[in-house]
Amino acid sequence: MGIIPFENTWPYERQYNDIYFHSCPYCESDYVLTHMKLRDLKRAKEGIKTLLIMPCCNSKMTIMEADDDYFWSTERLRK
């Protein structure tokens, strides 16, 4: 995980079985509920590459790793 810069992270929230973002890094929509399942999150936390398609704008986020707060992606998400 050390090789992924912090600019490539984006915070997510988990509430029960839902994974959502306070805002989309691509189109800036508010409160985006993703299609991600808890088992996908578990796999991402194990370092399994996961593709997430944003329901708001169809942008593709390639997640390399996840921790309890952030997704670590292949591209820069923070401006």
Residues interacting with Zn ion, by CB under 5 A?
24, 26-27, 29, 54, 56-57
Closest separation in Å from C-beta 24 to Zn ion? 3
What six digits make up the tokens of 78? 């923070």
Nearer to Zn ion, 48 or 62 (CB): 62
H helices, E strands: number in the chain: 1, 7
Closest separation in Å from C-beta 69 to Zn ion? 20
Is residue 17 helix, strand or coil?
coil
Nearer to Zn ion, 56 or 64 (CB): 56
Nearer to Zn ion, 24 or 66 (CB): 24
**Residue 37: count of CB within 10 angstroms of its CB:** 12
Closest separation in Å from C-beta 15 to Zn ion? 19
C-alpha distances out from residue 19 to 2, 28, 65, 71, Å: 24, 17, 15, 11
